[in-house]
């Protein structure tokens, strides 16, 4: 499996409505077949300095992750939502064995 972790801070001035629309658009990406699993969440606010949001996404392979990026739904997600609310952003991608079965 190929895991992609994206942590970010909201863009300054992003409205609660725009953030909620972003979360909805992110959830909508689950229909893309290459996206095998996804968790995401807003930081719980226990510690100052934490970033605001994280998404953990699993694909079968890097090639599958690239196909996901090219999917029209993902393109619309970037143009209509991510580009409007995602500020400072950190990404790490790595292969892993997948969930214990």
CB 17 within 8 A of CB 59: no
Q: Is 43 left (phi over 0), alpha (psi -120 to 50) or beta?
A: beta
Site residues for a copy of itself, 32-91, by CB under 8 A, read: 39-44, 46-47, 49-54, 56, 62, 90-91
Q: Residues 12, 17, 96, 101: which binds a copy of itself (CB under 8 A)? A: 96
Number of residues that bind a copy of itself (CB under 8 A): 28
Residue closer to a copy of itself by CB (options 16, 99) is: 99
Residue closer to a copy of itself by CB (options 12, 92) is: 92
């Amino acid at each position: 499996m190929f895991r992609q972790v994206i942590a970010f801070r909201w863009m300054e001035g992003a409205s609660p409505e725009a953030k909620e629309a972003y979360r909805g658009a992110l959830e909508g990406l689950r229909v893309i077949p290459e996206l095998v699993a996804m968790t995401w969440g807003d930081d719980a606010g226990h510690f100052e300095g934490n970033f605001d949001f994280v998404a953990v996404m699993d694909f079968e392979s890097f090639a599958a992750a690239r196909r996901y990026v090219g999917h029209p739904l993902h393109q619309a997600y970037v143009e209509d939502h991510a580009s409007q609310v995602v500020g400072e952003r950190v990404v790490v991608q790595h292969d892993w064995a997948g969930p214990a079965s």
